[in-house]
Amino acid sequence: MNKTDKIKIPKLLVVATGNPGKLKEMQAYLADLDLQLQLKPEGLEIEETGETFLANARLKASQVAQITGEWAIADDSGLAVDALNGMPGVYSARYAPTDRERISRLLRELGHTTHRKAQFVCALAIADPHGTIALEVEGICPGEILDIPKGSGGFGYDPIFYIPAETMTFAEMPRELKRSLSHRGRAFQALLPQLQKLITSQKNNG
């Protein structure tokens, strides 16, 4: 029997974050599965050294899984702007100290260019207790960057991220509409059937 034969059916997922809001959000997306989610241990910090969203998600899931000895799920997400060669990308949250400053910097760097296409990206990774990545997906929501912010909802770059088909920014959208269209929503839509299949297959093999 090799070590993968001893892996238990995932009933608990440790979320590789210390943010209770993100835990609650993931619980909502995974509500239809028989899973318990909990925050990573307090004080456990994983440095995001990956060059892509998926690399960071893998890194966080793998390390948290190995340290806790449980299945772990991690995400990494951000905004990639075509005219800025994909920036701010994995540095989206570190582009400036506050949301307002991050938006200001982005608009300043874009200047008056008419090439405003961009996309929000969310990568999700699930690791088994040994740290091996069992599942990974990416969700992408294409849009455009406005010249000025619009809307008071959401957070981060939401006020300048415009969805032409809806004629609204993320910050102007009702919560449920944003949840269904967003990069995170699309990532979980891709993850759910794969995670259900994984749980089912392990039950059958057990």
3-state secondary structure of 15: strand
- pLDDT for 2 equals 41
Query: Catalytic positions, please?
Result: 76
pLDDT average, residue stretch 47-68: 95
Cα separation, 168 vs 118, whole angstroms: 15
- The tens digit of pLDDT for each residue in 17-43 reads 888 888 888 998 999 888 899 999 988
Cα separation, 69 vs 82, whole angstroms: 40
- The tens digit of pLDDT for each residue in 145-161 reads 999 999 998 889 999 99
Q: Kindly report whether the global pTM for this prediction surpasses the value 0.85.
A: yes
Rounded to the nearest integer, the mean pLDDT of the chain is 91
What residue segments make up the domains of the chain, in order of their start? 3-205
Helix axes 20-29, 183-205, angle to 10 degrees: 70
- The tens digit of pLDDT for each residue in 168-206 reads 999 999 989 998 899 999 999 999 999 988 887 766 665
- pLDDT for 4 equals 45
Pairing mode of beta strands 161-163, 168-169? antiparallel
Q: Give the domain 3-205 fold.
A: Maf protein (3.90.950)
Contacts 24+ apart (CB under 8 A), 39-42: 39/14, 39/15, 40/14, 40/15, 40/16, 40/64, 40/68, 40/72, 41/67, 41/68, 42/18
